[in-house]
Structure 1
Amino acid sequence: MADDKKPLLIKRYASRRLYNTETSDYVTLEDIAAFIRDGREVQIVDLKTGDDLTRQYLLQIIAEHESRGENVLPVDVLTDLVRSYTTSAQSVVPQFLAASFEMLRDGQSKLMEQWSHLPNPMASMPGFDALQRQQQAFLKSIMGGFAGSSGPAPEADEEEAPKAKAKAAPAADDDLAAIKKQLADLQAKLSKL
């Protein structure tokens, strides 16, 4: 467990290859993104100069996801970020973004905790457990992109998962639409700030 607290050290060689010092093998940007989604802190340093390149590579990971159509950052937010580099707001923006994401993580954690303690009359319904595991996995996948996310781990039974997925598809679509609306509302509020 102590290793999870210490950042995973990735060294960049002169050839620009990235070397995982824990496993003694080369990694890709996608591997680094997977480490982060799993909750690991990552530090990328240049082997020769010792310069910390973490920020540069994290921005590159975000840019690659955005260019593949996995749009998380609305154009308004990106525009405001660009503006913040040329204004006096530059000093406030990092703290604001960090506080916003911390609030989002805390909210998700509290929501999952509340759901786990609520008595549920549907719990006696056949197949409910599989449906609940699928919903938890869905929430974790959505929040998985945020470092430190504390969503529950999926525990789907391999035989029940396809049946539950087929039954839960309409409910999942409704849930997804509601979540997208909530995210859009949150983005609108952040843009106003």
Structure 2
Amino acid sequence: MADTGKRLLIKRYASRRLYNTETSDYVTLEDIAGFIRDGREVQIVDLKSGDDLTRQYLLQIIAEHESRGESVLPVDVLNDLVRSYMTGKVSVVPEFLQQSFAMLRDGQAKVMENMTSLNPIAKMPGFDAMQAQQEAFMKAMTGSWPGKTSSGLEPSEPESNEDLAAIKRQLAELQDKLSKLK
């Protein structure tokens, strides 16, 4: 298994093929997107010149998702990005976006942290189901960005259909119990 804490080096050959130096095989843009979703830092370099092409390929991944109808960024945000690059002035937009995403990741970790057993509400019947639902919601909202779960561990594999069904069943039970309390 690959070390997820270390930056993954991808080399681009003259043929434009992308080579994973960790597993010694060729990869696609979709593979690279998967590595990133799994929490890996990726660096893509041109084998001949040594130029860092990471930014170019990450933008290409986003563009491909957009062209398939998977809206990544709202049109207003895309317009603002284009404007920030076209003004010729130094833009604060990249720094702002970086800080915003960092705050979102930190916020996700704090929400999960606050849902620990130290919280008196955790003793309420059905709390486990509510906590599992919150974790699934945060994972869905952030696209499985790396971050800590309530157990303090990195998120593992995506939720299976059985897990999702169990969460829904537990949520229904919790809602039923809450309605009986009223």
- TM-score normalised according to structure 2 size: 0.75
AA of the residue aligned to 1:165: K
Residue equivalent to 2:179? none
State the Cα distance separating 1:166 from its structure 2 match: 5.2
CA distance in 2: counterparts of 1:150 and 1:49, whole angstroms = 35
Asked if 1 retains the 8 angstrom alpha-carbon contact of 2:115 and 2:131, the reply is: no
**Bigger Cα Rg:** 2
Residue equivalent to 2:81? 81
CA RMSD of aligned residues (A): 2.9
Residue equivalent to 2:147? 150
CA distance in 2: counterparts of 1:52 and 1:95, whole angstroms = 20
Deviates more, 1:61-70 or 1:7-16: 61-70
For residues 116-127 of structure 1, what are the structure 2 equivalents within 5 Å?
116=116, 117-120=118-121, 123-125=124-126
State the Cα distance separating 1:74 from its structure 2 match: 1.0
AA of the residue aligned to 2:108: Q
Residue equivalent to 1:186? none
CA distance in 2: counterparts of 1:160 and 1:97, whole angstroms = 33
State the Cα distance separating 1:30 from its structure 2 match: 1.3
Q: Which residues of structure 2 form unaligned runs of 5+?
A: 150-154, 175-182
State the Cα distance separating 1:85 from its structure 2 match: 1.0
Asked if 2 retains the 8 angstrom alpha-carbon contact of 1:140 and 1:151, the reply is: no
Q: Aligned in 2, Cα 1:79/1:90: closer, same or farther, shift over 3 Å?
A: farther
Report which of the two has the higher share of helix: 1
Residue equivalent to 2:101? 101
Residue equivalent to 1:185? none
- Matched length: 164
Identity of aligned residues (%): 66
Deviates more, 1:83-92 or 1:97-106: 83-92
Q: Aligned in 2, Cα 1:131/1:26: closer, same or farther, shift over 3 Å?
A: farther
Residue equivalent to 1:9? 9
Asked if 2 retains the 8 angstrom alpha-carbon contact of 1:11 and 1:19, the reply is: yes
Q: Aligned in 2, Cα 1:68/1:119: closer, same or farther, shift over 3 Å?
A: farther
State the Cα distance separating 1:87 from its structure 2 match: 1.4
Q: Which residues of structure 1 form unaligned runs of 5+?
A: 172-193
AA of the residue aligned to 2:84: S
